Every structure is written in structure tokens, then in C-alpha cells.
Amino acid sequence: MKNLFKVSALLAVVVLTLSGCNCFKKMAKNQDEVKLTCTPEVLVLNNGTVDADITVTFPVKYFNAKAVLKVTPVIVFEGGEVAGTTQYFQGSKVDDNYTVIDKKNGGEYTMHVSFPYDERMACSELQLRAEIKCPKGACKEFTLVNLNTGAIPTKEEAAVLAAGGAEADALKRAFGLTIAQGVNTLQKDIDYAAAMQTMASGYKNVITEVTRANYMFAINSSTLNRDAKSSDELAAFQEIAAAQTENDRIKQNLYVNGYASPDGPEKFNDKLSAARSEAGKKAAEELLKEIGLPLDVASYGEDWEGFKQLVAASDIEDKELILSVLNSYESSSEREMQIKNMSQVFDVLKDEILPQLRRAQLVNSSDITGKTDDEMIAFVRAGQFSELDELEMLHIASTGKLTLEEKIATLEVAAKVYGSATSYNNLGVAYAEANEGAKAANAFQQAVKAGGNSSELNNNLALVNLMNGNTEAAKAYTANATKETKALASAAEGNYAAAQSQLEGYNAAIAATMNADYTAAKQFIANDASAKADYLRAIIATKQGDMALATAELKKAIAKEPAYAERCKEDVNLRGFIGNEIAL
């Protein structure tokens, strides 16, 4: 609680007698009884604004019935100031519509002030500035009062005020009464990026590519003629296999699989498919003799699966009926009989479908190993992004092996070249990690335009709006967001108790600190060795009065991130260090 006018009664009487400000003379005599409180005592940033309730209590027989007092709250910081809403008080005999303070009874008034946050407010003062107006004397118009001495401006000071400019601004500040110092901006330290979600890259270091070619046989035959051994399909197969042997990242697995069409006796077809696989093997060994890779041989009898696939892909009018019959019977002989009974479609099957199943299929299943992480990192650091495809860029950006700057550069290229929702979403998360809120929001919007509608993107849109102070916009996404994001939304609105109960780690420690639950706050970051955790421990120690521990934790934070050496000098949570050098 502060006195509104911090000046001895004798000094006030002398100054005001000389000033000739008639209705204000007697008010100054009882100035010690004018009480003032500011809640909170240390201003707090919440949801992009700084709010306070200032209560002024005027004593009985204090307020002159003919006086008008104009009071303006002002936040003052280096390079500027922001004025709040002015409040007017008047005596009972003043014919205006201001708040009346009755001389006989005194009065109490609470004024709520709210300021949009400016980064410069972290190191600031909340002042009250007062002007007095009396019907007679030197204060017929509103005249600035020095709330620290009770004096009104001298002629020289009045001239400075009338001229305006920097000197006038400095004089106004000198006349103001400071009722709070600094703004607690710890809410800004909430790590929204830590709760954001990247989308999976879909990258696989080893992928499998399969090529196929067929040796075709006549009905009931396992003999290959010259034409069957020299098709364009087989030539292309051989060319691919030969080329892949030159690449030490590719492991080729070669198979020959024999099949029979399902239009004869099952046992006969089993033997036929086995004979076809052996014939195919001999032909394949001749085809691939320069490659020198082993062939795995197998036979599969009647190829009902292949039959169904060919029918489904055909333009046969009754193909749905055929497939229904196939699915209705487990016995291959029953299925064959039912299909032969469909005289209206059997000729089409006999001429167009069944001949394609009389084969020995040559298969090359190639396991292709991609670049190592070290190779990808080298391309990133050389700026050779054209050597990487989108999945590789998304992957290497997710490994934690790049610096944040390299990660952003990689994802910027991926987003620009490929324009996918995944690239833009993951770029948005990287921007958020770099505290680039506006860029992060834009990247997430680009992800939406690219067709992204995943749970990860919805969650990130909620978080980036919270990060940028747009709590109302965030509400459009928080309903379907994660429990953690909903808790962070509570913290962004100043509901730290609810947030603390749903969070873990560093963000839970922030909420607990703002909730003055310092024991819990320390437990939440007990195993966190980051610079930001060290800095938060310094704040907690300061609030608990342990300046030795605060100094030790602050030194650790500065050693890891030197920027904290400057921040601590303006952080109201570290009052003991403001303006002091930290010995490292």
C-alpha cells in the first residue's frame, strides 16, 4: 500500500501556498491518509494484455468540495509509454458528472486498467499521473501535480510542458507516482512448439521393388518353344537385373514360380505347374547366366488367385457373377465345375483368361537400400538439396541430427519443391521451434491449402494461435486437440491451476510457478538440464529467497545460452539481478 502523495505535510503546505492552487491546499495537509493499492503488486502478462486493479481510498474530510482530480495510469518504459483510461474525481459542489468523493464521508474507488502488451514493457513502471482543477487560483484549468512532492509546476516547468517534446515527457514521468515495477512475462516462456506434432515422412531406408516376366506355355504343356523364351518382357527383365547388379545398394532375390490354369484335374495341374517351374528355371538360367544369381524355384498348382485378379480387371459383362461363384465354394473342383456350367461366359474365360495363367513366372524382388543419414546430412550442408527427394528431406529433418537452421532450410526446400501438406506442416513446427510464430502460422495455413486435414495439423493450428496470442482463434481447433494442447490453452488464459494438473515437464513447471506452487515446479524440471530449465530454477529460487541458488542456476543458464545474461537484467522475476553484472 502506498501513500498517494509522498511528501511531508510541512513541505506540502509551503509548496501549495506558493502555488496559489486554492482548493488543493488543504487536501495536501492530509495526504498521508490517502491510501493506494495495486493488484497485483507485480504486473503480469496474460493473454497479450497487462491488467491491474488500482484502489484509491480518500479519507474523511479530505476531498475539497470544489476540486476536480484527474488521474491517469501510465506504463512507462524505455523509448515510450502507454496511457490507460483516465478517471476523474470531483467534490460534492462541482457541477460535473465525474465520480463524487464526498468530503464528509470520504470514499474508495477501484479503477481497472488494461494495456496491450508491448515487448518493451518487461522493464517498465506503472505510474499514476494527476492533474488538479480549482474554481479559483492558479489551477483554473487542469494542472499537473507532482505526486512525489505535492508541487505544481514552476513557471519554468510549465514552459517545458507547454513546449512538448522529450523534455516535457521526462518531466511528466518525474511528476508521476510509481505504484508497480516491471511485468512478469513468464507466460511467454510456455513452449508451445514442444507440444506440436510433425507428420510421418513415410520414409523407408530399404524399399522393395518387384519386376516380373512370364514364360508362357500351351495348354497341358510344360515345354517352351523358342518364341516363349525370347519375348520383349523377358528381355526387359534381364536388362533391369543386369543393371541392378552394378549397384551395391541393391540386393536381388530371383524366383521362378510355376502355375497351371484351373480348368483341369487338380492333381494333374499340380504336376504340370511343377514341370513348368523346372522348365522356367532352365530358361531363366540361360537368360540370366551373365548375372550369376541363384534362382529359387517353387510351384503353386492351380492359380485361382491369378484367375480372380484377371477376371476382376477384365471387361467381361458377367464378371461379378463369376467372382461370386468363386467365393461361394471352397473346393477347387466345385468352383471349376460351376464355372464350366456358365456356358454363356466359359468361352470368354477359355479364350481370354485361362491362357494367361499357364506360365512360369520369373520374379525379381529387389531390396534397395537408400542413402545413409550421414550422406543426407552432407548433401544438406553442401546445399545440394537436388540430391534428395521429399521423403529423404522429411526424414533427415526429423532425426535431430541437423541444427535448427539446417532443419528449417531443408524443410523450406521440401515445401517449395513438393508443396505437400506434410512438408508445410513439419516446416511450421520447425519455425515454431525457432520462435517464428508468424512464419509457423503461415506454413500451417499452406498445409491446409495443400489438402491437409490431419489431427496433427489441427493440433498445431490451435498451438500456433496460442503462441501468437490469438486465444480466440485457437478455440476453433482446441475442441479436437490433444489433452496437452487443451491444458496449454488454459495456461494461455491464465488458468494455471487447471493447466498444471494436465501438463508435464517444463510447461507444467511454468504453470506451477505462476500458480506459486514452487515445490511442484522444481519437481517437474528435476531432470531437465536445458538452459531454459536452469533459468526457471533461478526464478523459483529468487521467489523462495534463495539468492545463492538463484545465482548458481542463472550462471548455468547463461553458460549454455548467453542471451540469458541480458534477459535477467530486465526480468522482474529476478529483481536481485536487474541492472547488475553476473560474474561468470
pLDDT in tens, 553-584: 999 999 999 999 988 888 999 876 655 555 44
Q: Where are the alpha helices (DSSP H) in 20-137?
A: 25-29
Pick the residue with more confidence: 149 or 497? 497
Per-domain boundaries in the chain: 2-184, 187-203+371-493, 206-369
- pLDDT (0 to 100) of residue 556: 95
- pLDDT (0 to 100) of residue 123: 87
Pick the residue with more confidence: 19 or 504? 504
Bridge partner list, 295 = 254
415 pLDDT more than 80: yes
- pLDDT (0 to 100) of residue 330: 80
Mean pLDDT, residues 307-315 = 90
447 pLDDT more than 70: yes
Bridge partner list, 207 = 368
Fold of 187-203+371-493: 1.25.40
Are 93 and 65 in contact by the 8 Å Cβ rule? The answer is: yes
Classify domain 206-369 at the CATH superfamily level. OmpA-like domain (3.30.1330.60)
pLDDT tens track for 111-124: 999 999 988 898 89
Are 500 and 511 in contact by the 8 Å Cβ rule? The answer is: yes
* Neighbouring C-beta atoms of residue 14, cutoff 10 Å: 14
Q: What are phi and psi of 36, to 5 degrees?
A: -145, 135
Query: pLDDT over 70 for what percent of the chain?
Result: 93
Q: Cis omega (within 30 of 0) on the bond before 262?
A: no
Q: What angle do CA 111, 145, 175 make, to 5 degrees?
A: 85
279-296: string of b/e by CB count within 10 Å (b at 16+)?
A: bbbebbeebbeeeeeebe
pLDDT tens track for 87-133: 999 999 998 999 999 888 888 899 999 999 988 898 899 999 999 99
pLDDT tens track for 327-346: 888 887 887 787 777 756 77
Q: Model confidence at 316, in pLDDT bands (50, 70, 90)?
A: confident
pLDDT tens track for 203-217: 999 989 999 999 999
- pLDDT (0 to 100) of residue 454: 92
- pLDDT (0 to 100) of residue 582: 52
Average pLDDT, the chain: 89
